[in-house]
């Protein structure tokens, strides 16, 4: 985040990780960025792309051509990363760390 934000000369507010099902990340108008914790299981370059994508929203709060120009400046290979998420993202979304049905019992 910091590396991409430094390129734009814009500060990132608060960074949070959440268990989201519909978005890989979001950026508020206050500059707060939220990322899906599932990105931690993706290849590092995918997380870097999503970080760049959300930081690009610090300059353009939309998905206009101007936004994609900023995104390409921060992460030139953004199309390949978006394709990876389209192809493999569902597998990441299916991961569920629900608590076990019964309490764990230690065996003697």
pLDDT at position 20: 87
Q: How far is CA 70 from CA 5, 14, 92, 100, in A?
A: 11, 21, 27, 44
pLDDT at position 21: 81
Question: Which stretches of the chain drop beneath a pLDDT of 70?
Answer: 98-108
pLDDT at position 101: 66
| CB burial readout 7-35, b (16+ within 10 A) else e | ebeeebeeeeeeeeeeebbbbeeebebbb
pTM for this model (two decimals): 0.86
Structural domains of the chain ordered from first start: 2-88 (3.30.2010.10)
């Amino acid at each position: 985040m910091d590396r991409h934000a430094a390129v734009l000369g814009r500060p990132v507010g608060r960074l949070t990780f959440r268990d989201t099902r519909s978005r890989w990340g979001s950026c508020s108008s206050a500059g707060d960025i939220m990322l899906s914790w599932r990105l931690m299981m993706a290849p590092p370059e995918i997380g870097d792309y999503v970080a760049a994508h959300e930081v690009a929203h610090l300059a353009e709060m939309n998905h206009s051509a101007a936004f994609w120009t900023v995104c390409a400046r921060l992460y030139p290979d953004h199309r390949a990363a978006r394709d990876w998420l389209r192809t493999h993202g569902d597998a990441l979304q299916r991961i569920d760390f629900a608590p076990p049905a019964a309490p764990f019992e230690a065996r003697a």
